[in-house]
């Protein structure tokens, strides 16, 4: 990697964000190793530790690092344990680098992979390099198997094929994260959100090391939460500007079921002289009909909400990568009618 990655639009070329929760035995070790790797790079960098409400001495160690090296270390201290995704979002919000790298503070991610990922971004023009723990050093039943299932489901549903969504070690160009807000367990879905905005993504095999100190903070329940968040991300990336497609589609299918139920009653009345009022068919017809109307109305409400969301924040349903020799059109009505002063 060369100094050509320097970006003078930002105070730092690289921000490394590490969410921390009860990692008192790892903080000093990961900092020393990370700092030695970053010092060898021709880049201006900062390290941001986000304490996610640790109950051990992690917070005190982070504060000590920030006070000892204020020029490169920043400590973000959350009031309580909000979860990994919230900690990552807090780190991103306080980062000042043109490129943001995320990694865990448990020593399982290898800092020596960061220069290789940055080099791939520089040479091949990627916006996001996602780590792949191909030889993962975790328990098979409680960690690797649920992760494998979740990765397969996410790739199938979103159409973004990655082997390891759960790997925290990733590098991003700043503009990829500028308009991303993370909730729930959505940090793993950043590649999906970035892909929806047209980001150029690649996956890279990274070194994954066994945990030496402490224990994992996540179990099987996390996989269930990921599946629930997947529903939200799918809606946000595929239907956020066209909610009527999904709600109207459901309404259409329900109306078809209502027509089928009504058809069964009609056929029964014509050929057997019995409309089957005492059967479940009248109830099903009414139920499907009412649900169909409600789905369509909900779709219309969502359409209005989405328009309010975009227009109130000045957002558009698109993302521009670059404009060459372009000039933004200003409507005549937006100009002051008596303002004749020259503008640069």
> Would you say 293 and 251 are in contact if contact means Cβ atoms under 8 Å apart?
yes
- 213 contacts: CB under 8 Å, gap ≥ 6: 23, 25, 26, 106, 107
Alpha-carbon distances of 230 from 132, 235, 263, 271, 309, rounded to whole Å:
20, 9, 37, 48, 21
Cβ pair 75, 62 in contact under 8 A = yes
State both tokens at 269.
Answer: 């009345």
Secondary structure (3-state) at 1: coil
Residue 24's nearest CA partner among 48, 60, 50, 53 is: 60
Contact between 225 and 186 under an 8 Å Cβ cutoff? The reply is no
Strand extents, DSSP E, the chain: 12-20, 45-51, 73-77, 97-102, 128-132, 170-173, 201-205
Q: At 304, which helix (H) or strand (E)? A: helix 281-312
- Residue 23: CB partners within 8 Å, gap ≥ 6? 30, 54, 56, 58, 105, 106, 213, 214
Dihedral of the CA atoms 277, 280, 286, 288 (nearest 10)?
A: -150
Residue-range domain boundaries for the chain: 9-238, 243-312
Q: pTM of the full predicted structure?
A: 0.72
Q: For each of the chain's 344 residues, which pLDDT tens digit applies?
A: 555 566 678 899 999 999 999 999 999 999 999 999 999 999 999 999 999 999 999 999 999 999 999 999 999 999 998 888 889 999 999 999 999 999 999 999 999 999 999 999 999 999 999 999 888 876 766 567 777 878 888 888 888 889 998 899 999 999 888 877 787 778 888 898 888 878 899 999 999 988 777 666 555 566 677 777 787 787 777 777 778 878 888 899 999 999 998 888 888 878 777 767 778 888 888 999 999 999 889 888 888 887 776 667 666 655 555 555 555 544 444 434 444 444 33
User: What distance in Å separates the CA atoms of residue 164 and residue 161, rounded to the nearest whole number?
Assistant: 9
Strand 128-132 versus strand 170-173 pairing type: antiparallel
**How is residue 139 written in tokens?**
């328990």
pLDDT computed for residue 339 by the predictor: 44
- pLDDT of 332: 44
Cβ-based burial of 125 (10 A; exposed 0-12, middle 13-18, buried ≥19)? exposed
Q: Write down the CATH superfamily of domain 9-238.
A: Spore Coat Polysaccharide Biosynthesis Protein SpsA; Chain A (3.90.550.10)
Residue carrying structure tokens 């993370």: 182
CA 241, 244, 247: angle at the middle one, nearest 5?
125
97-102 and 170-173 beta bridge pairing: antiparallel
Q: What was the pLDDT predicted at 140?
A: 61
Tokens of 267: 């056929």
């Amino acid at each position: 990697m060369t100094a050509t990655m320097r970006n003078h639009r930002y105070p730092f070329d690289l921000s490394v964000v590490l969410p921390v929760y009860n990692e008192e035995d790892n903080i000093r070790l990961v900092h020393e190793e990370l700092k030695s790797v970053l010092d060898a790079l021709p880049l201006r960098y900062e390290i941001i530790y986000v304490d996610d409400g640790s109950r051990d001495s992690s917070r005190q160690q982070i504060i000590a690092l920030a006070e000892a090296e204020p020029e490169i270390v920043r400590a973000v201290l959350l009031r309580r344990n909000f979860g990994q995704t919230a900690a990552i979002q807090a780190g991103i919000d306080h980062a000042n680098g043109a490129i943001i790298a995320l990694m865990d503070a448990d020593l399982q991610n290898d800092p020596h992979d960061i220069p290789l990922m940055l080099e791939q971004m520089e040479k091949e023009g990627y916006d996001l390099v996602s780590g792949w723990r191909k030889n993962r050093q975790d328990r098979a039943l409680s960690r690797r198997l649920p992760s494998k299932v979740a990765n397969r489901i996410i790739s199938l549903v979103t159409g973004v094929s990655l082997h390891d969504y759960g790997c925290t070690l990733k590098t991003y160009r700043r503009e990829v994260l500028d308009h991303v807000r993370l909730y729930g367990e959505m940090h793993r879905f950043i590649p999906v959100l970035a892909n929806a905005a047209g980001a150029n993504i690649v996956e890279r095999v990274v070194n994954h090391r066994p945990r030496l100190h402490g224990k994992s903070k996540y179990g099987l329940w996390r996989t269930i939460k990921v599946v629930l968040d997947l529903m939200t991300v799918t809606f946000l990336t595929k239907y956020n500007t066209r909610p009527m497609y999904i709600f109207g589609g459901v309404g259409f299918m329900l109306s078809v079921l209502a027509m089928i139920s009504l058809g069964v009653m009609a056929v029964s009345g014509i050929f057997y002289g019995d409309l089957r009022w005492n059967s479940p068919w009248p109830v099903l017809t009414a139920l499907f009909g009412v649900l169909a109307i409600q789905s369509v109305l909900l779709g219309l409400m969502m359409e209005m909400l989405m328009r309010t969301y975009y227009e109130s924040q000045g957002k558009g349903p698109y993302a521009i990568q670059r404009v060459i020799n372009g000039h933004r059109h200003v409507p005549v009505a937006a100009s002051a009618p008596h303002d004749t002063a020259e503008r640069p």
